[in-house]
Amino acid sequence: MEMNELKAITEGLLFASGDEGITVKQLARVLDVQGHTVEHLLEELKYDYDNTGRGMLLMQSHEVFHLTTKPEHSPYLKKLLETPQSTKMSQAALETLAIIAYQQPITRTEIEDIRGVKSDRPVQTLIARSLIEEVGRKEGAGRPILFATTKDFLTYFGLTSLEELPPLPDDINTDDLEEEADLFFDTFSEQIDQSNHR
């Protein structure tokens, strides 16, 4: 496979890995190449992002690489989030928020296990709205990011503390993950609808 194609695939993998990011070892395994080849690809991508007027940056945190937007573009991203069409949250974002509220701190993978679908975009939406935040990393393989709700979350729902969240039924079947996600959503849906129409 040509280096340009490998670089394009690497870029796609970085994008798909979202805020969790991806390591050189993971990229080498997926691309079926040596680690030094991956490091070369990442150096080329970093150079491209830094020197060709692109809107993204390649960031490294410990051994994990991920894509992020350029800090100098943040006023435009903020303006996008403040546009009227983005004021109403999707059902996916609501489900994700409810899961985080009741299960925090929680990783994106754990959220996806409960929802049964990828949750990169809902998590990004909630971070952008300051309803959730990163609160550390979980011990173990890859040290995934842990998410929890923010003070803005409490304000948004008119709560003074997490203890005021509506209680969940005692007989919830934690083995039935899809049912659990639906229950979380149902618990919040009425409050969300009211908030969206303020």
Is the C-alpha dihedral spanning 105, 108, 109, 113 positive or negative? positive
Residue given tokens 């670089």 in the structure block: 7
Contact 90, 123 (CB under 8 A): no
32-52 burial code (b ≥16 CB/10 A, e <16)? ebeeebbeebbebbeeebeee
Fold of 3-72: Arc Repressor Mutant, subunit A (1.10.10)
Domain 3-72 and domain 88-196 have a common topology:
yes
Percent helix, strand and coil across the chain, each to the nearest 5: 60, 15, 30
CATH code linked to domain 88-196: 1.10.10.10
Could you tell me which residues are beta bridge partners of residue 150?
A: none
pTM of the model: 0.48
Q: Dig out the tokens for 31 from the structure.
A: 């691309």
pLDDT tens figures, 90-118: 788 888 998 999 999 999 999 999 888 88
User: Residue 19 has which token pair?
Assistant: 């805020």
- Kindly list the domain boundaries of the chain, sorted by start residue: 3-72, 88-196
Instruction: Give tens-digit pLDDT for 184-197.
Output: 555 555 555 554 44
Question: How many C-beta atoms lie closer than 10 Å to residue 22's C-beta?
Answer: 21
Tokens (6 digits) for 139: 């011990």
Give pLDDT tens digits for 44-92: 999 999 888 888 889 888 888 988 888 888 888 777 766 655 456 778 8
- The amino acid occupying position 14 is L
pLDDT computed for residue 86 by the predictor: 47
